[in-house]
Structure 1
Amino acid sequence: MAVILVYSDKPEVARELAFKGKEFAAALGLGLAAAALGEGAAGRAADLGAHGADTIYVSEDAALAGLQADVVADALAQIAAQAAAAYVLIGSTRRGKELAGRLAQKLGAGAVSDVNSLVLTDGQLVGNRYALGGNTVAEERIDTAVKVFAVMPKTFEVGEPQAGAGAVETPALSLTPSKVSVVDRRAKEGQAVNLDAAPLIIGVGRGFPKREDLAVADGLAAALQAEVGCTKSIADFEWLPEDRIIGLSGAKT
């Protein structure tokens, strides 16, 4: 049986894709498979099964250390072929955006990234995403046999996990270490923020004439237990760090 294959380097996004993927798979008469890759992958298999995956392909191959996009794409291409994947759903995270293109090239598939809505239309999945600078929404259909969609985090709701787990398989993958290596890691100055995890964001932009006026947004954020996000221009002024950018140039929460 052909399947929908789901994967993300972020466990919470993989869980989201598995839960919604199960619904799509049932409607299309497909199975649902998930991939768990890299260090600690075996420990994530049960969670993916509880959220809908019929089969979880697990690999902790040494070449997957660091989850470099070129190696992960190679692993997913081999898993997709073994599982007879008709669709591959990937989390459109920073790594996921690159991964979707690399994987599609290996599979000879069409790919759409930054999908913010995925619907079943005329017997196939169709993705929607912002276009023309965010002024409109484009409906994206893929005509290739295998279809790759990179879906934005928090696009789907996640239901309660169900008792029982999917079957775990350890595929025989032929992987070579990445040509890219990390030579150094340096922490950013100041306190980093993850806007994707924020329940509420207070957005600020050019309407604030002075840097000192940001105190108003800070006070509101504290009262609402929210985070402060900003437009790219505010970050360019160095009033707020780049990890607080929202919109087309940053987090799309």
Structure 2
Amino acid sequence: MTKILAFSEESGGLYELLGKAAELCQGDRVAALLLSDGVPGAVDECFFNGADIVYRVSAEGVADESDLAGTLARLADTVGVDIYLISSTKRGKEIAARLATRLGAGCVTDVIDLRREGDVLLADRYTLGGNSVATEEVLTARKVYAVMPYAFGRPERDASRTGQTVDVELAAGGKKKRLLERKPKAREGVRLEEAERIIAVGKGLINQDDLRMVSDLADAIGAEIACTRPLGMDLHWLSEDRIVGLTGVKAAPKLYLAVGVSGQIQHTVGITRAKTIVAINKAADAPIFKVSDYGIVGDLYAILPELLAQVKKGG
């Protein structure tokens, strides 16, 4: 019997959910609902990342949130799905809510961790604006979890795995939408979620022109530039897709260099999976130092040029 089903409209998110589902399945089959849009190898990649069975539905046009929720709900009865893992994107949260309503299931959104303690499945999620973590248990027989993108990381890919593919029809209902054009979202540089090195800037940077100094160091060490919410949303010094934190990207780089970042919880929740955090701040009591592996108390305008000089010298 299939007990856990994963769904995400973004392939990387789907593979991540499948990896967690395989970890939690306790010997039951893991399933994926895949919107088939003709991408070669998509079904095989689901198998390689943990799926035992792939339910493939045509993605011609634009699938309505209600139709997707209906399709997912139908699988609960036909194949016995008890646990749903859905990416907690804007559309994903709406689908999760509609699905839970149809099933009479409990629903937890913005999940950052899922784990079993005995027979109990526990979900962690940020609450109170990111100032604390709530651990929640869903008591209904069927459970819906909307998981924050990149909360778990990509599973180890096993290219020897195979599985079963079943074509299913989209549950029709409501007004239909017609896809007129598909355009990739314009982005600056690589995805921060995939960057190995990140230099993040905060309000300790005085002028927008000073980003050149940061950019020079980033180029020298092969890093991407990120920022706190005020620099992206309020000052518009950098694009919004470079914001790290509660309302932005959750990053997991090998190196995270925080420059002039105070370290409020709304920002640091986005770097909990960073391997090494280095902070530069002139305030010795800045909260960023509490989550840093290494800290430098001093003027960033004196420290960054010296760092760049040392990098160029190979020091």
Q: Provide the TM-score with structure 1 as the length reference.
A: 0.85
2:19 equivalent in structure 1: 19
Matches within 5 A, 1:149-160: 149-154=145-150, 155-160=152-157
Deviation at 1:184, TM superposition (A): 7.5
Question: Given the alignment, which residue of 131, 138, 146 partners 2:134?
Answer: 138
What RMSD in Å do the two structures reach over aligned CA positions?
Answer: 2.7
Deviation at 1:61, TM superposition (A): 5.6
Q: Size of the alignment, in residue pairs? A: 249
Q: Would the aligned equivalents of 1:78 and 1:173 in 2 still touch at CA under 8 Å?
A: no
Which segments of 5 or more consecutive residues in structure 2 lack a partner in the other structure?
Answer: 252-315
Matches within 5 A, 1:103-118: 103-118=99-114
Whichever of the two has the greater Rg, that structure is 2
Aligned-residue sequence identity (percent) comes to 37
Q: Would the aligned equivalents of 1:130 and 1:137 in 2 still touch at CA under 8 Å?
A: yes
Q: Structure 2: how far apart are the matches of 1:87 and 1:97?
A: 15
Matches within 5 A, 1:89-238: 89-154=85-150, 155-176=152-173, 178=175, 191=188, 194-235=191-232, 236-238=234-236
Q: Structure 1: how far apart are the matches of 2:209 and 2:244?
A: 20
Q: Structure 2: how far apart are the matches of 1:203 and 1:178?
A: 44
Deviation at 1:167, TM superposition (A): 0.8
Q: Would the aligned equivalents of 2:15 and 2:154 in 1 still touch at CA under 8 Å?
A: no
Deviation at 1:215, TM superposition (A): 2.1
Q: Structure 2: how far apart are the matches of 1:2 and 1:37?
A: 19
Deviation at 1:151, TM superposition (A): 1.8
Deviation at 1:166, TM superposition (A): 0.9
Q: Would the aligned equivalents of 1:193 and 1:244 in 2 still touch at CA under 8 Å?
A: no
Match for 1:5: what amino acid?
L
2:257 equivalent in structure 1: none
SS in 2 for 1:196: helix
Q: Structure 1: how far apart are the matches of 2:203 and 2:141?
A: 46
2:290 equivalent in structure 1: none
SS in 2 for 1:88: strand
Q: Structure 2: how far apart are the matches of 1:189 and 1:41?
A: 21
Q: Would the aligned equivalents of 1:128 and 1:139 in 2 still touch at CA under 8 Å?
A: yes
Runs of 4+ in 1 over 6 A off after TM superposition: 182-190
2:46 equivalent in structure 1: 48
1:10 aligns with 2:10: yes
1:80 aligns with 2:86: no
Q: Structure 1: how far apart are the matches of 2:228 and 2:202?
A: 5
Q: Structure 1: how far apart are the matches of 2:188 and 2:56?
A: 34
Q: Would the aligned equivalents of 1:92 and 1:113 in 2 still touch at CA under 8 Å?
A: yes
Give the stretch that moved more between structures: 127-136 or 217-226: 217-226
Q: Would the aligned equivalents of 1:42 and 1:58 in 2 still touch at CA under 8 Å?
A: no
Deviation at 1:6, TM superposition (A): 0.8
Q: Would the aligned equivalents of 2:88 and 2:146 in 1 still touch at CA under 8 Å?
A: yes
Match for 1:77: what amino acid?
A
Deviation at 1:192, TM superposition (A): 6.6
Q: Structure 2: how far apart are the matches of 1:198 and 1:67?
A: 31
Which segments of 5 or more consecutive residues in structure 1 lack a partner in the other structure?
Answer: none
Q: Deviations over 1:215-248 (max 9, x none)?
A: 2322232233222121221121121122222211
SS in 1 for 2:107: strand
Q: Structure 2: how far apart are the matches of 1:212 and 1:177?
A: 51
Deviation at 1:178, TM superposition (A): 4.8
Q: Structure 1: how far apart are the matches of 2:65 and 2:219?
A: 38
Going from structure 1 to structure 2, the CA distance change for 1:61 and 1:214 (only over 3 Å counts) comes to closer
Q: Structure 1: how far apart are the matches of 2:246 and 2:119?
A: 31
Q: Provide the TM-score with structure 2 as the length reference.
A: 0.70
SS in 2 for 1:14: helix
Q: Structure 2: how far apart are the matches of 1:200 and 1:100?
A: 33
SS in 2 for 1:45: helix
SS in 1 for 2:55: strand
Match for 1:218: what amino acid?
S
